[in-house]
Amino acid sequence: MSEVVQLSSAEKALFRENLVKFLDAEVEPDYEKWEKAEIWPRELWNKLGENGFLCVDLPSEYGGFDASFELSCVVVEEISRLGYGALASAVSVHSDIVAPYILHLGTEQQKLHWLPKMASGECVGAIGMTEPGAGSDLQGMKTSAVKDGDEYVVNGQKTFITNGQHCDVIVLAVKTDPTQGAKGMTLFTVDAQLAGFQRGRNLEKMGLHSGDTSELFFQDMRVPADQALGGEGKGFANLMNELPRERLILGVGCVAAAEGMLDSTIEYTLERKAFGEPISRFQNTRYVLADMKTEIELNKALVEKYVARYINDELTPAEASMCKLAASEMQGRVADKCVQIFGGYGYMREYKISRAYVDARIQRIYGGTSEIMKELISRSLVGR
């Protein structure tokens, strides 16, 4: 596998600048229309890939740039900062969850088959974990895979699946031995063209409207045994090993989204007048802005620390949980305070701050709820 290339500050700045230009040209003009339609066109994935903004930290032999995780953070940061919460969520699932699962756990055949297509945007990735009766408690899942010769027969359903309408490959968690608890879970790479797979409806959500979130159904779907990802019965352990990156990248997006909200709110306070002067001159406004800036900087420092630990292969699950917990809770507080400063205008959809507010709410739920994060952190301190 090729060595990781450490980009200079100037190279990262140029990449960031090009990404912002792409988003201004290809996303901003139509994003509100996609929000109302509750989905964006499939071609957007191709454009993201063609311009080099997907799976950027993959090795070059699989279509990436040999870059460090920091470059993937830049992608999520800028999409989040500009207020495209649904797109940030979808891209992070594709590039920072599905692709690393396949890279770290897959056979060479699986990696060569899927990863270059994911980097180019030809293939969109989704991860199938959550079920109607199993969310944060993954051991409660019911979707089963029964061995039949050199295939597994899969039956069951998943819900709340990001990229569910557009996905071409699904990293699917199933029970291969229901009697073994966590040790009976296996991951598979599933081609969305397989017979027996069916997409359900595109779910209507409080926020992240343009991101497709779906139910997925599997009825006697036959998956080749060689598509097991990371070994039979090792699915739960593999999920636990990969979750820290997912929670870390969520923290990265939370901080950047909060920065974007604060920037737009500061601009508003300089223009909006009350009692004949800009509201930025009122002590209450100034103190609220100061509090938000301080909270953001504290969380940014934590994120930067943990990104460095992840790159050095030192990040623990508890640390990733702390990052996700702190940053997502902070984003919710910042969103609420920003809407309050905007007043009645902040409640209007024509102002992006209202979209940022509803988009922020999911951050304390997906990727593990705040309550689950606290449980995991406490276990690292005092045990079960």
Last residue of a domain, one of 124, 150, 178: 124
CATH code for the domain in which residue 370 is found: 1.20.140.10
Same domain, residue pair 149 and 260: no
Does 259 reside within a domain? yes
Domain that holds residue 148: 127-233
Last residue of a domain, one of 93, 124, 155: 124
Cβ(64)–Cβ(58) below 8 Å: yes
**pLDDT value of residue 183:** 83
Question: Quick check: 189 pLDDT over 90?
Answer: yes
Assign 3-class secondary structure to 130-184.
CECCECCCHHHCCCEEEEECCEEEEEEEEEEEECCCCCCEEEEEEECCHHHHHHH
Same domain, residue pair 221 and 188: yes
Same domain, residue pair 225 and 244: no
Same domain, residue pair 196 and 63: no
> What's the rounded Cα separation, in Å, for the pair 146 and 337?
51
Rg (CA), the chain: 21
Mean pLDDT of 338-346: 97
**pLDDT single digits (tens) 30-69:** 999 999 999 999 999 999 999 999 999 999 999 999 999 9
Question: Quick check: 140 pLDDT over 80?
Answer: no
The residues near 99 (Cβ < 8 Å, ≥ 6 apart) are: 55, 58, 115, 118, 119, 125
Same domain, residue pair 198 and 105: no
Does 226 reside within a domain? yes
- Per-residue pLDDT band at 83 (split at 50, 70, 90): very high
**pLDDT value of residue 22:** 98
Query: How many Cβ atoms sit within 10 Å of the Cβ of residue 78?
Result: 21
**pLDDT value of residue 114:** 98
Residue 26 known to be catalytic:
no
Mean pLDDT of 142-156: 94
**pLDDT value of residue 58:** 96
Same domain, residue pair 51 and 110: yes
> What's the rounded Cα separation, in Å, for the pair 304 and 310?
10
Does 225 reside within a domain? yes
Same domain, residue pair 118 and 16: yes
Cβ(94)–Cβ(163) below 8 Å: yes
Same domain, residue pair 91 and 138: no
Are β-strands 169-175 and 125-128 bridged in parallel, bridged antiparallel, or unpaired? parallel
Mean pLDDT of 339-355: 96
**pLDDT value of residue 128:** 94
Annotated catalytic residue, options 246, 259, 295, 319: 246
CATH code for the domain in which residue 135 is found: 2.40.110.10
Contacts 24+ apart (CB under 8 A), 343-347: 345/268
Question: Quick check: 384 pLDDT over 90?
Answer: no
Give the chain's domain count: 3
**pLDDT value of residue 120:** 97
**pLDDT value of residue 3:** 72
Question: Quick check: 225 pLDDT over 70?
Answer: yes
**pLDDT value of residue 136:** 62
Does 3 reside within a domain? no
Same domain, residue pair 119 and 193: no
State the chain's mean pLDDT as an integer: 94
Does 257 reside within a domain? yes
Does 2 reside within a domain? no
21: which 2 tokens?
């230009």
Does 1 reside within a domain? no
Same domain, residue pair 324 and 341: yes
Same domain, residue pair 16 and 80: yes
> What Å distances lie between residue 54 and 13, 113, 351, CA to CA?
17, 16, 29
> What's the rounded Cα separation, in Å, for the pair 90 and 53?
13
Residues of the chain with pLDDT > 70: what percent? Answer: 98
**pLDDT value of residue 215:** 96
Does 340 reside within a domain? yes
Please, is 17 exposed, middle or buried when counting C-beta atoms within 10 Å of its C-beta (0-12, 13-18, 19+)? exposed
CATH code for the domain in which residue 69 is found: 1.10.540.10
Same domain, residue pair 75 and 107: yes
Taking the model in full, what pTM does it have? 0.94
Question: Quick check: 182 pLDDT over 80?
Answer: no
Question: Quick check: 169 pLDDT over 80?
Answer: yes
Question: Quick check: 112 pLDDT over 70?
Answer: yes
**pLDDT single digits (tens) 234-281:** 998 898 888 899 999 999 999 999 999 999 999 999 999 999 999 999
Query: Which amino acid, residue 67?
Result: A
**pLDDT value of residue 200:** 95
Please, is 79 exposed, middle or buried when counting C-beta atoms within 10 Å of its C-beta (0-12, 13-18, 19+)? buried
Tell me which DSSP letter residue 122 carries.
S
Last residue of a domain, one of 233, 254, 275: 233
